Structure 1
Amino acid sequence: MTFSTLPLTTPLSRRSLGLLALAAAGGTARAQAYPAKPIRLIVPFTPGGSSDILARAVGQELTKSMGQPVVIDNVPGAGGSIGAERGAKAPADGYTLLMGHIGTLAVNPSLYPKLAYDPVKDFAPVAWVARVPNVLVVHPSVQANTLADFVALARAQPGRIAYGSGGNGSAAHTTMEYLKLVTKASLLHIPYRGTAPSVTDLLAGQVQALFTGAPALLPHIKAGRMRALAVSSPRRIRSLPEVPTVAESGVPGTKGFEADQWYGIVAPAGTPPDIVRTLNEQVNKALALPDVAARLAGEGAEPTPTTPQAFGALIAAELQRWAPVIKAGGIKPE
């Protein structure tokens, strides 16, 4: 019995092989050509805030270095959860990214019981962009010159010292609740609709304390209109070198205290590792540029270039840090 075979030289075979070769070449070209179209960077807050400013500073440099526009898409609502959900459910092709921060990636999972995304399972960490230290300040009328004085006063007069915040679940709220948890201080929370009105009322003496991002406070500290007692970062900050960290205070329970606001870029889970690597390298290059560093400094932010793996480790650690704080403080979203 004989079997006939179709020679590879027939027109049909040559055509099939040609199509396979073109498909393989096309796949290689697509991988090498990233990005081949504009990149969308979701900012889950309104324009003008720190997330938006940092996203635009980095996005502008990525546009130059990657040869495609990085388009900022502001999607505010529910403490950043609406925009974060949209980022999580986007195609994992490197063309939709999210500017995440401590709220969307570490606080919201404990704050919102039915959150529509998981910050670990639904995102691939790309780049840690910056950290913004919080500063604990008091009105000049408060008889406290150190953190130890402040804690002692709060313990001696339970609930008599009121502190402001930008709203329930805001960084200023969770940071002060963290301080309360580790020091056993007793303070009264007064939420505002944003940081600005909380600062205004502190200046007027309507509240006595505030623990929020440095940029909103620095001019008033320098002018003597409020007194800085401590910073939330693991080391002192350049703009306030004379102000100790919380961990330096010696107050029992404060060893290892760290509560900076932080910002970083994530992509939908499943984004190809080579694309994540490319984005990480380009973001880190942008953060090293003097112009970008200056823009970040204007926001009180410190660049934090690192690997995707290190950023992922930060997210996981922060989820563990804030869950007990939110539970102990009974913090609920507005």
Structure 2
Amino acid sequence: MRSPAISRRAALGGLLLAPLAAPRIARAQGAGQGAWPDRPVRIVVPFTPGGSTDIIARALAAELQDTLGQPFVVENRGGAGGTIGTEVVAHAPADGYTLLMGHIGTLAVNPSLYRNLSYDTVQSFAPITLAAVVPNVMVVNPRKMPSGGISELVAMAKRRPRSLTYGSGGNGSAAHIAMAAFCLATGVEMEHIPYRGTAPMMNDLIGGTIDLTFTGGPPILPPVRAGMLRALGVSSDHRLSGAPDIPTVAEQGVPGFEANQWYGLVAPANTPRPIVDRLNAECARILKGEKLRPRLESEGAEAAPGTPEAFRDFITAERARWGDVVRRADLKPD
């Protein structure tokens, strides 16, 4: 049997070898911790299919599967603003075979929105890496608002308070929190229409049942490019490289405004550090690579890998920031 020192050297060397060698390398890396992965790994997405979290999780899962030689299966466990799927992972065995594709709502907003959660979004998880930052894109149904930008929308909303309707994937979702921040920043009131997921909300927006939404780029940009929706602005402090023609909200009369979604991979607390480090290294390589990074950018996402420690600090800071918005806007869950 190989010594632990040799096993560690094999693990590090494995990062430099071709993907076809991944199963053998994974076995060497896992010596002393159990062979990981030696069976399928599931990535829980705590939302219905079709939203940004699902799109990013599936793209990353496909690359991890090719690299590590075992299936990475995305499992959608939606409901209660993402708390159901998040709870599943928080209480799963800490063995590296159950991961969570968390995001701003599940890891930063929900602690302020939901009382009596059975988990803590910092203490109950082992952060692996921040994966991507996804600026929100405000879009309208072009039949409802055929022209104009953010300033015109604000003027319309002020003339007719609560007459405009905006959709989201549910109370406390990323789209809901982004629009709440926008309303606080501009002093307007709009009627929130929560849905059970991004996909049904998008169907109603395109169909004209609701007026607008302010959500992540991946599900938004394709219908914008097809002319089914019209983009008004992006929530980041810079224009998207994949959609440079869409101005920022900040440059349209709301200075300093920024309200981005973000996504990151976490595991149950106490997951062995060698597994966390292996996933962190592989995710960083994949997210910075020429195969996935351009795809993310074309869909309005920006790869943002970092260390597990940096991701933990980021989650803590975001909890404080968005908890303040929840309180000021008096947001309530379903």
TM-score, L = length of structure 1 = 0.80
Corresponding residue number in structure 2 for 1:283: 283
Corresponding residue number in structure 1 for 2:267: 267
- Equivalent pair of 2:129/2:305 in contact (CA under 8 Å): yes
Corresponding residue number in structure 2 for 1:164: 167
Decide which of 223, 226, 230 is 1:227's aligned counterpart.
230
| 1:241-273 superposed Cα distances (whole Å, 9 cap, x missing partner) | 12222222332xx41x32222211112222333
Where has structure 1 moved over 6 Å in runs of 4 or more? 21-29
Corresponding residue number in structure 1 for 2:301: 301
Residue 159 and residue 296 in structure 1: after superposition, are their counterparts in 2 closer, same or farther (change >3 A)? same
Letter in 2 for 1:312: R
Corresponding residue number in structure 2 for 1:185: 188
Deviation at residue 284 of structure 1 after TM alignment: 0.9
Structure 2 counterparts to residues 47-196 of structure 1, below 5 A: 47-140=49-142, 141-142=144-145, 145-196=148-199
- Equivalent pair of 1:236/1:243 in contact (CA under 8 Å): yes
Residue 84 and residue 241 in structure 1: after superposition, are their counterparts in 2 closer, same or farther (change >3 A)? same
Residue 144 and residue 35 in structure 1: after superposition, are their counterparts in 2 closer, same or farther (change >3 A)? same
Which secondary structure state, in structure 2, belongs to the residue aligned with residue 319 of structure 1? helix
- Residue segments in structure 2 that go unaligned for 5+ positions in a row: 9-29
Deviation at residue 178 of structure 1 after TM alignment: 1.0
Decide which of 245, 248, 251 is 1:248's aligned counterpart.
251
Corresponding residue number in structure 2 for 1:7: none
- Equivalent pair of 1:35/1:66 in contact (CA under 8 Å): no
Q: Distance in 1 between matches of 2:118 and 2:129?
A: 23
Q: Distance in 1 between matches of 2:238 and 2:104?
A: 19
- Equivalent pair of 2:243/2:300 in contact (CA under 8 Å): no
| 1:170-190 superposed Cα distances (whole Å, 9 cap, x missing partner) | 222221111011221122222
- Equivalent pair of 1:34/1:275 in contact (CA under 8 Å): no
Residue identity (%): 51
- Residue segments in structure 1 that go unaligned for 5+ positions in a row: 1-20
Residue 136 and residue 49 in structure 1: after superposition, are their counterparts in 2 closer, same or farther (change >3 A)? closer
- Equivalent pair of 1:57/1:295 in contact (CA under 8 Å): no
Letter in 2 for 1:37: D
Deviation at residue 219 of structure 1 after TM alignment: 4.1
Corresponding residue number in structure 2 for 1:41: 43
Aligned residues: 311
Q: Distance in 2 between matches of 1:159 and 1:48?
A: 28
Which secondary structure state, in structure 2, belongs to the residue aligned with residue 113 of structure 1? coil
- Equivalent pair of 1:128/1:306 in contact (CA under 8 Å): yes
Letter in 1 for 2:47: F
| 1:185-242 superposed Cα distances (whole Å, 9 cap, x missing partner) | 1222223343344444444544333212223333443355543221012321123212
Please, which moves more after superposition, 286-295 or 159-168? 286-295
Higher radius of gyration, 1 or 2: 1
Q: Distance in 2 between matches of 1:262 and 1:273?
A: 23
Tell me how large the CA RMSD over aligned residues is.
Answer: 3.1
TM-score, L = length of structure 2 = 0.80
Corresponding residue number in structure 1 for 2:320: 320
Which secondary structure state, in structure 1, belongs to the residue aligned with residue 117 of structure 2? coil
Which secondary structure state, in structure 1, belongs to the residue aligned with residue 291 of structure 2? helix
Which secondary structure state, in structure 2, belongs to the residue aligned with residue 291 of structure 1? coil
Residue 84 and residue 191 in structure 1: after superposition, are their counterparts in 2 closer, same or farther (change >3 A)? closer
Letter in 2 for 1:181: L
Deviation at residue 34 of structure 1 after TM alignment: 5.2
Residue 314 and residue 33 in structure 1: after superposition, are their counterparts in 2 closer, same or farther (change >3 A)? same
- Equivalent pair of 1:133/1:261 in contact (CA under 8 Å): yes
Deviation at residue 145 of structure 1 after TM alignment: 2.0
